[in-house]
Chains A and B, each alone.
Chain A
Protein backbone atom coordinates (compact mmCIF):
# COMPACT_ATOMS: atom_id res chain seq x y z
CA UNK A 1 0.00 0.00 0.00
CA UNK A 2 1.43 3.34 -1.06
CA UNK A 3 0.28 6.38 0.88
CA UNK A 4 1.20 9.95 -0.07
CA UNK A 5 0.85 12.88 2.33
CA UNK A 6 0.92 16.49 1.22
CA UNK A 7 2.28 18.95 3.75
CA UNK A 8 3.10 22.64 3.75
CA UNK A 9 4.68 25.15 6.07
CA UNK A 10 2.68 27.92 7.72
CA UNK A 11 3.49 30.63 10.27
CA UNK A 12 3.27 29.46 13.87
CA UNK A 13 -0.33 29.85 15.07
CA UNK A 14 0.94 31.82 18.08
CA UNK A 15 2.64 34.37 15.79
CA UNK A 16 1.39 37.92 15.49
CA UNK A 17 1.30 38.88 11.81
CA UNK A 18 2.14 42.39 10.63
CA UNK A 19 1.59 44.08 7.27
CA UNK A 20 4.23 45.74 5.17
CA UNK A 21 3.86 47.01 1.64
CA UNK A 22 0.24 45.81 1.50
CA UNK A 23 1.20 42.21 2.25
CA UNK A 24 1.47 40.05 5.34
CA UNK A 25 5.07 40.32 6.52
CA UNK A 26 6.37 36.90 7.52
CA UNK A 27 9.99 37.93 7.99
CA UNK A 28 11.34 36.36 11.13
CA UNK A 29 8.10 34.47 11.81
CA UNK A 30 8.70 30.88 12.85
CA UNK A 31 7.39 28.41 10.26
CA UNK A 32 5.83 25.14 11.36
CA UNK A 33 4.21 22.20 9.60
CA UNK A 34 0.58 23.15 9.04
CA UNK A 35 -1.25 21.75 12.11
CA UNK A 36 -3.94 20.04 9.99
CA UNK A 37 -1.15 18.37 7.96
CA UNK A 38 0.28 16.88 11.16
CA UNK A 39 -2.96 14.92 11.47
CA UNK A 40 -2.55 13.79 7.85
CA UNK A 41 1.01 12.58 8.50
CA UNK A 42 -0.07 10.75 11.66
CA UNK A 43 -3.05 9.16 9.89
CA UNK A 44 -0.80 7.99 7.03
CA UNK A 45 1.62 6.35 9.47
CA UNK A 46 -1.24 4.79 11.47
CA UNK A 47 -2.84 3.41 8.31
CA UNK A 48 0.50 2.07 7.05
CA UNK A 49 0.99 0.32 10.41
CA UNK A 50 -2.56 -1.09 10.34
CA UNK A 51 -2.35 -2.27 6.76
CA UNK A 52 1.08 -3.83 7.33
CA UNK A 53 3.82 -3.03 4.87
CA UNK A 54 2.42 0.30 3.74
CA UNK A 55 4.89 2.99 2.87
CA UNK A 56 4.43 6.72 3.29
CA UNK A 57 5.88 9.42 1.04
CA UNK A 58 5.65 13.06 2.12
CA UNK A 59 5.41 15.73 -0.58
CA UNK A 60 5.93 19.42 0.08
CA UNK A 61 6.10 22.55 -2.03
CA UNK A 62 8.59 24.70 -0.17
CA UNK A 63 12.07 26.12 -0.13
CA UNK A 64 15.53 25.21 1.17
CA UNK A 65 14.52 26.29 4.66
CA UNK A 66 11.66 23.76 4.62
CA UNK A 67 14.06 20.81 4.93
CA UNK A 68 14.04 20.85 8.71
CA UNK A 69 10.27 20.51 8.97
CA UNK A 70 10.24 17.95 6.17
CA UNK A 71 12.90 15.86 7.90
CA UNK A 72 10.75 15.89 11.01
CA UNK A 73 7.95 14.19 9.01
CA UNK A 74 10.48 11.49 8.11
CA UNK A 75 11.45 11.16 11.75
CA UNK A 76 7.81 10.42 12.58
CA UNK A 77 7.84 7.39 10.29
CA UNK A 78 7.50 8.38 6.62
CA UNK A 79 9.85 6.51 4.25
CA UNK A 80 10.92 9.30 1.95
CA UNK A 81 10.04 12.79 0.82
CA UNK A 82 9.80 14.98 -2.24
CA UNK A 83 10.56 18.69 -1.91
CA UNK A 84 9.29 20.74 -4.84
CA UNK A 85 10.96 24.13 -5.01
CA UNK A 86 10.87 26.65 -7.76
CA UNK A 87 10.91 30.44 -7.54
CA UNK A 88 8.27 30.59 -10.27
CA UNK A 89 5.74 29.10 -7.83
CA UNK A 90 5.72 32.22 -5.69
CA UNK A 91 2.16 33.62 -5.86
CA UNK A 92 0.76 30.52 -7.58
CA UNK A 93 -2.89 29.77 -6.74
CA UNK A 94 -4.08 26.52 -5.17
CA UNK A 95 -5.27 24.95 -8.43
CA UNK A 96 -1.86 25.62 -9.98
CA UNK A 97 -0.23 24.01 -6.95
CA UNK A 98 -2.54 21.01 -7.33
CA UNK A 99 -1.31 20.64 -10.93
CA UNK A 100 2.29 20.66 -9.68
CA UNK A 101 1.49 18.10 -6.99
CA UNK A 102 -0.28 15.89 -9.52
CA UNK A 103 2.82 15.81 -11.70
CA UNK A 104 4.97 14.85 -8.71
CA UNK A 105 2.57 12.30 -7.22
CA UNK A 106 1.15 10.54 -10.27
CA UNK A 107 4.33 8.46 -10.94
CA UNK A 108 4.30 7.19 -7.32
CA UNK A 109 1.25 4.95 -7.87
CA UNK A 110 -0.43 5.99 -4.64
CA UNK A 111 -3.41 4.06 -3.27
CA UNK A 112 -4.55 7.14 -1.42
CA UNK A 113 -3.46 10.64 -0.56
CA UNK A 114 -3.85 12.47 2.73
CA UNK A 115 -3.63 16.23 3.26
CA UNK A 116 -4.69 18.66 5.97
CA UNK A 117 -8.14 20.20 5.51
CA UNK A 118 -6.61 23.64 4.89
CA UNK A 119 -3.42 25.57 5.45
CA UNK A 120 -3.88 27.78 8.47
CA UNK A 121 -2.17 30.60 6.58
CA UNK A 122 -4.44 31.51 3.67
CA UNK A 123 -7.18 29.09 4.74
CA UNK A 124 -8.07 28.09 1.16
CA UNK A 125 -8.76 24.40 1.77
CA UNK A 126 -8.59 23.83 -1.97
CA UNK A 127 -5.38 22.06 -2.92
CA UNK A 128 -6.23 18.52 -1.77
CA UNK A 129 -9.71 18.62 -3.30
CA UNK A 130 -8.41 20.10 -6.57
CA UNK A 131 -5.79 17.35 -6.69
CA UNK A 132 -8.55 14.72 -6.40
CA UNK A 133 -10.44 16.39 -9.25
CA UNK A 134 -7.33 16.57 -11.45
CA UNK A 135 -6.56 12.89 -10.79
CA UNK A 136 -10.17 11.92 -11.44
CA UNK A 137 -10.43 10.43 -7.93
CA UNK A 138 -13.07 10.72 -5.27
CA UNK A 139 -12.33 12.59 -2.06
CA UNK A 140 -13.68 13.13 1.41
CA UNK A 141 -12.97 16.42 3.15
CA UNK A 142 -12.70 17.16 6.89
CA UNK A 143 -12.41 13.51 7.91
CA UNK A 144 -12.46 12.57 11.59
CA UNK A 145 -12.12 8.82 11.01
CA UNK A 146 -10.89 6.57 8.22
CA UNK A 147 -10.81 2.85 7.66
CA UNK A 148 -9.37 1.10 4.64
CA UNK A 149 -9.97 -2.52 3.60
CA UNK A 150 -9.98 -4.47 0.33
CA UNK A 151 -9.51 -1.42 -1.87
CA UNK A 152 -12.47 0.35 -0.27
CA UNK A 153 -12.74 3.04 2.38
CA UNK A 154 -15.21 4.33 4.88
CA UNK A 155 -14.72 7.72 6.48
CA UNK A 156 -16.67 10.13 8.61
CA UNK A 157 -16.67 13.91 8.73
CA UNK A 158 -18.19 16.53 11.01
CA UNK A 159 -20.77 18.20 8.78
CA UNK A 160 -22.71 21.32 9.71
CA UNK A 161 -25.95 19.32 9.88
CA UNK A 162 -24.43 16.31 11.63
CA UNK A 163 -21.94 13.50 11.39
CA UNK A 164 -21.52 12.41 7.76
CA UNK A 165 -20.59 8.81 6.87
CA UNK A 166 -18.83 8.33 3.53
CA UNK A 167 -17.88 5.26 1.53
CA UNK A 168 -16.10 4.64 -1.75
CA UNK A 169 -13.27 2.90 -3.55
CA UNK A 170 -9.58 3.66 -3.67
CA UNK A 171 -7.74 5.54 -4.97
CA UNK A 172 -9.02 8.61 -3.17
CA UNK A 173 -7.92 11.80 -1.43
CA UNK A 174 -8.77 12.53 2.20
CA UNK A 175 -8.33 15.85 3.98
CA UNK A 176 -7.95 15.57 7.72
CA UNK A 177 -9.67 17.55 10.45
CA UNK A 178 -8.46 17.98 13.98
CA UNK A 179 -9.72 15.20 16.24
CA UNK A 180 -8.94 12.31 13.88
CA UNK A 181 -5.89 11.24 15.89
CA UNK A 182 -3.22 12.40 18.32
CA UNK A 183 -0.05 13.18 16.36
CA UNK A 184 3.00 11.48 17.86
CA UNK A 185 6.30 13.09 18.66
CA UNK A 186 9.45 11.94 16.88
CA UNK A 187 11.51 9.41 18.82
CA UNK A 188 15.28 9.71 19.09
CA UNK A 189 15.57 6.58 16.97
CA UNK A 190 13.26 8.15 14.40
CA UNK A 191 15.27 11.36 14.33
CA UNK A 192 18.49 9.43 13.74
CA UNK A 193 16.86 7.29 11.02
CA UNK A 194 15.43 10.37 9.27
CA UNK A 195 18.92 11.64 8.52
CA UNK A 196 19.44 8.71 6.16
CA UNK A 197 16.03 8.85 4.47
CA UNK A 198 15.94 10.26 0.93
CA UNK A 199 14.54 13.71 0.12
CA UNK A 200 14.22 14.18 -3.64
CA UNK A 201 14.29 17.78 -4.82
CA UNK A 202 12.27 18.66 -7.89
CA UNK A 203 11.92 21.84 -9.93
CA UNK A 204 9.08 22.55 -12.34
CA UNK A 205 11.38 21.54 -15.19
CA UNK A 206 12.10 18.20 -13.45
CA UNK A 207 8.36 17.59 -13.33
CA UNK A 208 7.95 18.47 -17.00
CA UNK A 209 5.90 21.55 -16.17
CA UNK A 210 5.97 24.98 -17.76
CA UNK A 211 6.37 27.91 -15.36
CA UNK A 212 4.27 30.02 -17.72
CA UNK A 213 1.29 27.74 -16.98
CA UNK A 214 1.66 26.85 -13.30
CA UNK A 215 3.76 29.79 -12.12
CA UNK A 216 2.53 32.66 -9.98
CA UNK A 217 2.67 35.02 -12.96
CA UNK A 218 -0.30 33.12 -14.39
CA UNK A 219 -2.30 32.86 -11.16
CA UNK A 220 -6.06 33.20 -11.56
CA UNK A 221 -6.47 34.58 -8.07
CA UNK A 222 -4.41 37.55 -6.94
CA UNK A 223 -3.98 39.34 -3.66
CA UNK A 224 -4.36 43.09 -4.19
CA UNK A 225 -4.17 44.27 -0.60
CA UNK A 226 -4.05 43.31 3.04
CA UNK A 227 -4.81 45.08 6.27
CA UNK A 228 -5.04 44.27 9.93
CA UNK A 229 -8.58 44.00 11.25
CA UNK A 230 -9.74 47.07 13.15
CA UNK A 231 -8.31 46.84 16.62
CA UNK A 232 -10.97 46.04 19.13
CA UNK A 233 -11.06 48.77 21.78
CA UNK A 234 -10.95 47.44 25.30
CA UNK A 235 -14.28 47.84 27.02
CA UNK A 236 -14.92 48.13 30.69
CA UNK A 237 -14.69 45.89 33.68
CA UNK A 238 -18.03 45.77 35.42
CA UNK A 239 -17.70 46.47 39.12
CA UNK A 240 -20.11 45.52 41.84
CA UNK A 241 -20.34 44.44 45.44
CA UNK A 242 -21.77 41.03 44.69
CA UNK A 243 -21.99 38.60 41.76
CA UNK A 244 -25.71 39.47 41.49
CA UNK A 245 -24.91 43.19 41.24
CA UNK A 246 -22.19 42.70 38.64
CA UNK A 247 -24.40 40.47 36.53
CA UNK A 248 -27.30 42.92 36.83
CA UNK A 249 -25.09 45.71 35.53
CA UNK A 250 -23.89 43.46 32.70
CA UNK A 251 -27.39 42.42 31.67
CA UNK A 252 -28.46 46.06 31.71
CA UNK A 253 -25.52 46.97 29.43
CA UNK A 254 -26.15 44.07 27.06
CA UNK A 255 -29.82 44.98 26.83
CA UNK A 256 -29.80 48.76 26.72
CA UNK A 257 -26.32 49.73 25.51
CA UNK A 258 -25.22 46.90 23.20
CA UNK A 259 -28.76 45.73 22.43
CA UNK A 260 -27.77 42.11 21.89
CA UNK A 261 -30.20 40.37 24.24
Chain B
Protein backbone atom coordinates (compact mmCIF):
# COMPACT_ATOMS: atom_id res chain seq x y z
CA UNK B 1 0.00 0.00 0.00
CA UNK B 2 1.64 3.19 -1.09
CA UNK B 3 0.56 6.76 -0.79
CA UNK B 4 -0.77 8.20 -4.05
CA UNK B 5 2.02 10.23 -5.59
CA UNK B 6 1.56 13.96 -5.22
CA UNK B 7 2.32 14.49 -8.87
CA UNK B 8 -0.81 12.53 -9.90
CA UNK B 9 -3.08 14.26 -7.41
CA UNK B 10 -1.96 17.67 -8.61
CA UNK B 11 -2.32 16.48 -12.21
CA UNK B 12 -5.94 15.53 -11.60
CA UNK B 13 -6.62 18.87 -9.95
CA UNK B 14 -5.09 20.61 -12.93
CA UNK B 15 -7.35 18.67 -15.30
CA UNK B 16 -10.48 19.56 -13.35
CA UNK B 17 -9.47 23.23 -13.20
CA UNK B 18 -8.66 23.34 -16.91
CA UNK B 19 -11.99 21.68 -17.74
CA UNK B 20 -14.02 24.13 -15.71
CA UNK B 21 -12.12 26.97 -17.35
CA UNK B 22 -12.79 25.49 -20.79
CA UNK B 23 -16.53 25.18 -20.13
CA UNK B 24 -16.80 28.78 -18.96
CA UNK B 25 -14.72 29.92 -21.92
CA UNK B 26 -16.98 28.05 -24.33
CA UNK B 27 -20.11 29.52 -22.78
CA UNK B 28 -18.72 33.03 -23.14
CA UNK B 29 -17.55 32.39 -26.67
CA UNK B 30 -20.90 31.07 -27.91
CA UNK B 31 -22.75 34.05 -26.43
CA UNK B 32 -20.22 36.42 -27.99
CA UNK B 33 -20.47 34.74 -31.39
CA UNK B 34 -24.26 35.12 -31.24
CA UNK B 35 -23.86 38.79 -30.41
CA UNK B 36 -21.41 39.35 -33.26
CA UNK B 37 -23.75 37.68 -35.75
CA UNK B 38 -26.57 39.93 -34.54
CA UNK B 39 -24.33 43.00 -34.94
CA UNK B 40 -23.30 41.79 -38.38
CA UNK B 41 -26.91 42.08 -39.48
CA UNK B 42 -27.16 45.57 -38.11
CA UNK B 43 -23.97 47.50 -38.87
CA UNK B 44 -20.96 45.51 -40.04
CA UNK B 45 -18.85 48.64 -40.64
CA UNK B 46 -18.96 50.07 -37.12
CA UNK B 47 -15.85 50.15 -34.96
CA UNK B 48 -17.88 48.37 -32.28
CA UNK B 49 -18.48 45.43 -34.60
CA UNK B 50 -14.89 45.20 -35.79
CA UNK B 51 -13.57 45.27 -32.24
CA UNK B 52 -16.06 42.67 -31.06
CA UNK B 53 -15.32 40.43 -34.02
CA UNK B 54 -11.59 40.46 -33.20
CA UNK B 55 -12.25 39.70 -29.54
CA UNK B 56 -14.57 36.88 -30.55
CA UNK B 57 -12.02 35.38 -32.92
CA UNK B 58 -9.51 35.41 -30.07
CA UNK B 59 -12.05 33.66 -27.82
CA UNK B 60 -12.69 30.95 -30.43
CA UNK B 61 -8.96 30.41 -30.81
CA UNK B 62 -8.69 30.24 -27.03
CA UNK B 63 -11.31 27.48 -26.85
CA UNK B 64 -9.51 25.40 -29.47
CA UNK B 65 -6.11 25.86 -27.81
CA UNK B 66 -7.66 25.15 -24.42
CA UNK B 67 -9.08 21.90 -25.76
CA UNK B 68 -5.67 20.82 -27.03
CA UNK B 69 -3.98 21.78 -23.76
CA UNK B 70 -6.54 19.85 -21.74
CA UNK B 71 -6.21 16.72 -23.84
CA UNK B 72 -2.42 16.89 -23.61
CA UNK B 73 -2.61 17.21 -19.85
CA UNK B 74 -4.97 14.23 -19.63
CA UNK B 75 -2.70 12.10 -21.81
CA UNK B 76 0.37 13.19 -19.86
CA UNK B 77 -1.28 12.20 -16.59
CA UNK B 78 -2.21 8.82 -18.05
CA UNK B 79 1.33 8.10 -19.19
CA UNK B 80 2.53 9.08 -15.73
CA UNK B 81 -0.01 6.78 -14.14
CA UNK B 82 1.02 3.98 -16.45
CA UNK B 83 4.72 4.51 -15.89
CA UNK B 84 4.24 4.58 -12.15
CA UNK B 85 2.01 1.49 -12.24
CA UNK B 86 4.74 -0.43 -14.08
CA UNK B 87 7.39 0.92 -11.75
CA UNK B 88 5.38 -0.42 -8.86
CA UNK B 89 5.86 -4.07 -9.68
CA UNK B 90 7.06 -6.77 -7.34
CA UNK B 91 10.00 -4.61 -6.36
CA UNK B 92 7.79 -1.76 -5.28
CA UNK B 93 7.53 -2.56 -1.60
CA UNK B 94 11.25 -3.10 -1.24
CA UNK B 95 12.00 0.10 -3.07
CA UNK B 96 9.40 2.08 -1.14
CA UNK B 97 10.86 0.87 2.13
CA UNK B 98 14.33 1.93 1.09
CA UNK B 99 13.07 5.31 -0.12
CA UNK B 100 11.45 5.75 3.30
CA UNK B 101 14.76 4.98 4.96
CA UNK B 102 16.48 7.58 2.79
CA UNK B 103 13.70 10.10 3.58
CA UNK B 104 13.08 10.97 -0.07
CA UNK B 105 10.44 13.61 -0.78
CA UNK B 106 7.38 12.54 -2.86
CA UNK B 107 8.83 14.18 -5.98
CA UNK B 108 12.20 12.49 -5.44
CA UNK B 109 10.41 9.15 -5.02
CA UNK B 110 8.72 9.54 -8.41
CA UNK B 111 11.95 10.55 -10.12
CA UNK B 112 13.84 7.76 -8.37
CA UNK B 113 11.33 5.15 -9.53
CA UNK B 114 11.49 6.38 -13.11
CA UNK B 115 15.30 6.41 -12.99
CA UNK B 116 15.27 2.82 -11.73
CA UNK B 117 13.03 1.95 -14.68
CA UNK B 118 15.84 3.07 -16.92
CA UNK B 119 14.42 6.33 -18.17
CA UNK B 120 16.97 9.02 -18.91
CA UNK B 121 16.82 12.60 -17.70
CA UNK B 122 15.08 13.89 -20.84
CA UNK B 123 12.41 11.19 -20.68
CA UNK B 124 11.77 11.76 -16.96
CA UNK B 125 11.53 15.49 -17.52
CA UNK B 126 9.02 14.99 -20.34
CA UNK B 127 6.92 12.55 -18.32
CA UNK B 128 6.80 14.84 -15.33
CA UNK B 129 6.41 18.01 -17.33
CA UNK B 130 9.46 19.45 -15.55
CA UNK B 131 12.68 21.05 -16.74
CA UNK B 132 15.65 18.75 -17.27
CA UNK B 133 17.66 20.83 -14.83
CA UNK B 134 15.09 20.15 -12.10
CA UNK B 135 15.22 16.41 -12.73
CA UNK B 136 19.03 16.44 -12.72
CA UNK B 137 19.05 18.31 -9.41
CA UNK B 138 16.53 15.86 -7.95
CA UNK B 139 18.63 12.90 -9.09
CA UNK B 140 21.72 14.44 -7.50
CA UNK B 141 19.87 14.82 -4.20
CA UNK B 142 18.61 11.24 -4.41
CA UNK B 143 22.14 9.91 -5.04
CA UNK B 144 23.54 11.90 -2.14
CA UNK B 145 20.78 10.72 0.22
CA UNK B 146 21.40 7.13 -0.90
CA UNK B 147 25.15 7.57 -0.62
CA UNK B 148 25.84 6.37 -4.14
CA UNK B 149 28.02 7.91 -6.80
CA UNK B 150 25.53 7.93 -9.66
CA UNK B 151 22.82 6.20 -11.59
CA UNK B 152 24.64 2.92 -12.12
CA UNK B 153 25.38 2.51 -8.41
CA UNK B 154 21.86 3.62 -7.55
CA UNK B 155 20.33 0.85 -9.68
CA UNK B 156 22.97 -1.65 -8.54
CA UNK B 157 22.06 -0.92 -4.92
CA UNK B 158 18.71 -2.69 -5.29
CA UNK B 159 19.96 -5.47 -7.54
CA UNK B 160 22.82 -6.29 -5.21
CA UNK B 161 20.63 -6.37 -2.15
CA UNK B 162 18.00 -8.47 -3.89
CA UNK B 163 20.65 -10.98 -4.92
CA UNK B 164 22.06 -11.17 -1.42
CA UNK B 165 18.55 -11.67 -0.09
CA UNK B 166 17.68 -8.60 1.94
CA UNK B 167 18.33 -4.95 2.40
CA UNK B 168 20.96 -3.66 4.70
CA UNK B 169 19.89 -1.12 7.24
CA UNK B 170 20.35 2.35 5.92
Do A and B assemble together? no
